[in-house]
Amino acid sequence: MPPRTCLCGLPAPYQDCCGRFHRGEAAPATAEQLMRSRFSAFGVGDEAYLLRTWHPAARPPRLDLDKRVRWVRLEVLESTGGSVVHTEGTVRFRAHYVERGKPGEMEEHSRFVRLDGRWVYAGALGG
């Protein structure tokens, strides 16, 4: 069952926020929107969406999400480019999770590009 409030950090119901992207009813307009929707996809276990929004050059053949990890909160720390007029963008974020009852967090600086008019995740930046 999907969460009531969207996991992406925006104050909206999941169904109206990232749920519409996961269902294929809309496409994220910005790199940050895509990043938020991918975080939500990790949270609801939508492996198909994650693979669909991954750049083909970097996409793994399949995903096996760890069911012991529960993604609970997202903080967007910085965003560059990635608007409706850009073809590339980056988003630096901190993702909070709980694994086996213990809280944790991971930080990533991600790169996004437009491919055939849609934003896709192109991988993590070093450093």
* pLDDT at site 1: 56
Listed as own residue / partner, the contacts of 41-47 with beta carbons closer than 8 Å and 24 or more positions apart are 42/71, 42/95, 43/3, 43/7, 43/70, 43/71, 43/72, 44/2, 44/3, 44/7, 44/14, 46/22
**Domain assignment of residue 5, yes or no:** no
**Domain assignment of residue 9, yes or no:** no
* pLDDT at site 66: 92
- Which one, of 92, 46, 94, 100, lies nearest residue 70 by Cα? 100
**Domain assignment of residue 3, yes or no:** no
CATH at residue 107: 3.10.450.50
Contact assessment for residue 60 and residue 88, using Cβ atoms and an 8 Å cutoff: no
pLDDT in tens, the chain (127 residues): 566 889 999 999 999 999 999 999 999 999 999 999 999 999 999 999 999 999 999 999 999 999 899 999 999 999 999 999 999 999 999 999 999 999 999 999 999 999 999 999 999 997 5
**Domain assignment of residue 4, yes or no:** no
**Domain assignment of residue 89, yes or no:** yes
**Domain assignment of residue 110, yes or no:** yes
* pLDDT at site 102: 97
Instruction: Work out how many domains the chain is built from and give that number.
Output: 1
Domain span at residue 87? 18-124
**Domain assignment of residue 96, yes or no:** yes
Q: Quickly count: other Cβ atoms within 10 Å of residue 27's Cβ.
A: 14
**Domain assignment of residue 43, yes or no:** yes
